[in-house]
């Protein structure tokens, strides 16, 4: 599957930067492309300068609302961000369609942090415009939820998150939720945590996107997980997880026997990888509530067998109850067995409901504050429009 990735706001731009790096890795190690274009969109020019892999030109790093914000961001005012998006969205739409590999795009992925002003305000508008323009391509959102401390200390973060989730859910084909708190590693500094979290967010997508684009016959699975499987799985609220199981460094030829204990060990490794993927899902959820699911297992070809696939299918079916399950295998020459799981079509999630409840008490207060700020901004602009500049 090939994606056009658009990162919006500081958080979204950094995650999109990781997707660009993922594409470089796929091109270097596997000779395939999985990202047809990676873009960063922001109202703050400084955030755009902090990226490392997305091309450093104004076609890939796009500044919105320069006249209103002077390139200094929207100060968490998502209503201002939405207003800017309505006026400047053509900059993004016109740019992505002119990129060389855009015709190969299977779907769009918009990435944003829900708590910030630019991410929460621009993303719903951009989603709507892209969906109206490209009616035959799915449009997905990958939304990063704030850390717990952000929610406790900042009412605006809660309000922005709630309005973002409400707006996006009604437009996107699927919303992949990522809870920052699920990934935090307490033994790292904040900066290192953020870098590591961004890497962990994109890692599950690597094999899933590569599997259907693989060209080398020895790496084509017996059951290929392709674009159609992914599109049919991704619907509504979605969680994604990644797990792995280390393999013996050296395996002698005579070890490949029909011994039932060897088969049992191999099957156990697969279950262990799936267990980890389920326990490390990107957002807390109840697997039994999922309406759709998929998994992709990747390992050296000699480690993949019918018994293991059958056990994995049974295991996932038991914990997801009524979900429609799609699966695939992806042979790779490496010293580990890894597995990605996607659970989708949740009717509701406790995390989302919690934001709705918490936002009810502060929504009117924040909305009035943002409206007042927008009014002051408009009055200032109107009052100074006929005054000549000295610059």
Note the pLDDT tens digit of each residue in 142-198. 999 998 887 666 788 899 999 999 999 999 999 999 998 888 766 666 667 788 899
207 within some domain: no
For residues 49 and 154, state if they share a domain. Answer: yes
Any idea which residue has 């395996």 for tokens?
251
Please give the pLDDT value at position 169: 95
How far apart CA 283 and CA 352 sit, in angstroms, is: 10
Please give the pLDDT value at position 251: 56
For residues 184 and 260, state if they share a domain. Answer: no
Q: Are strands 236-246 and 174-179 parallel, antiparallel or unpaired?
A: parallel
Please give the pLDDT value at position 305: 86
Residues of the chain with confidence (pLDDT) below 50: 254, 257, 260, 379-380, 383-384, 389-391
3-state SS class at 59: coil
Q: Are strands 292-299 and 336-346 parallel, antiparallel or unpaired?
A: antiparallel
Please give the pLDDT value at position 29: 93
For residues 137 and 243, state if they share a domain. Answer: no
How far apart CA 46 and CA 323 sit, in angstroms, is: 44
Please give the pLDDT value at position 252: 52
Give per-residue pLDDT as tens, 229-288.
999 999 999 999 999 988 865 555 545 545 545 556 667 888 999 999 999 999 999 999
3-state SS class at 105: coil
pTM above 0.95, yes or no: no
For residues 135 and 7, state if they share a domain. Answer: yes
Q: How many domains does the chain have?
A: 2
Please give the pLDDT value at position 373: 56
Please give the pLDDT value at position 390: 46
- DSSP letters, 243-283, are EEEE--S---GGG----HHHHHHHHHHHHHHHHHHHHT-SS
Of 187, 202, 217, the last residue of a domain is 202
Backbone angles phi, psi at 110, to 5 degrees: -100, 130
How far apart CA 303 and CA 305 sit, in angstroms, is: 6
Backbone angles phi, psi at 252, to 5 degrees: -75, 150
- CB 238, CB 26: distance < 8 Å: no
How far apart CA 37 and CA 279 sit, in angstroms, is: 32
Which of 55, 118, 51, 107 has its CA nearest to residue 82?
Answer: 118
Please give the pLDDT value at position 40: 96
For residue 280, the enclosing domain spans: 239-346
How far apart CA 224 and CA 331 sit, in angstroms, is: 10
For residues 162 and 296, state if they share a domain. Answer: no
- CB 181, CB 147: distance < 8 Å: yes
45 within some domain: yes
What CATH number has the domain bearing residue 260? Answer: 3.30.1330.20
- CB 312, CB 327: distance < 8 Å: yes
């Amino acid at each position: 599957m090939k994606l056009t990735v658009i990162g919006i706001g500081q958080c979204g731009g950094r995650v999109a930067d990781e997707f660009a790096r993922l594409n470089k890795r796929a091109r270097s190690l596997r000779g395939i492309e999985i990202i047809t274009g990676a873009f960063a969109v922001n109202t703050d020019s400084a955030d755009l300068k902090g990226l490392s892999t997305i091309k450093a030109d104004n076609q890939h790093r796009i500044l919105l609302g320069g006249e209103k914000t002077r390139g200094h961001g929207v100060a968490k005012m998502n209503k201002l961000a939405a207003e800017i998006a309505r006026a400047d969205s053509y900059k993004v739409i016109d740019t992505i369609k002119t990129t060389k590999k855009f015709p190969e795009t299977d779907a769009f992925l918009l990435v944003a942090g829900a708590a910030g002003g630019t991410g929460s305000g621009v993303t719903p508008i951009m989603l709507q415009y892209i969906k109206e323009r490209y009616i035959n391509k799915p449009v997905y959102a990958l939304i990063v939820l704030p850390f717990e401390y952000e929610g406790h200390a900042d009412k605006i973060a809660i309000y922005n998150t709630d309005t973002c989730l409400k707006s996006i859910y009604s437009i996107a084909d699927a919303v992949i939720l990522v809870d920052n708190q699920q990934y935090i590693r307490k033994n790292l500094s904040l900066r290192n945590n953020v870098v590591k979290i961004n890497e962990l967010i994109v890692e599950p997508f690597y094999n899933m996107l590569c599997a259907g684009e693989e060209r080398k016959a020895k790496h084509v699975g017996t059951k290929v997980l392709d674009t159609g499987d992914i599109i049919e799985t991704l619907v509504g609220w979605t969680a994604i997880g990644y797990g792995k199981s280390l393999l013996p460094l050296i395996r002698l030829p005579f070890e490949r026997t029909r011994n039932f204990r060897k088969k049992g060990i191999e099957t156990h490794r697969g279950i262990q990888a799936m267990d980890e993927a389920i326990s490390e899902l990107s957002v807390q959820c109840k697997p039994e509530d999922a309406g759709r699911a998929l998994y992709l297992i990747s390992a050296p070809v000699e480690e993949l067998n019918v018994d293991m696939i059958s056990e994995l299918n049974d295991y996932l079916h038991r914990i997801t109850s009524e979900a429609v399950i799609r699966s695939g295998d992806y042979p790779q020459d490496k010293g580990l067995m890894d597995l990605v799981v996607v659970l989708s079509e949740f009717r509701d999630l406790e995390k989302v409901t919690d934001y709705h409840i918490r936002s009810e008490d502060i929504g009117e207060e924040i909305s009035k504050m943002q409206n007042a700020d927008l009014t002051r901004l408009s009055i200032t602009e109107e009052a100074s429009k006929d005054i000549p500049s000295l610059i």
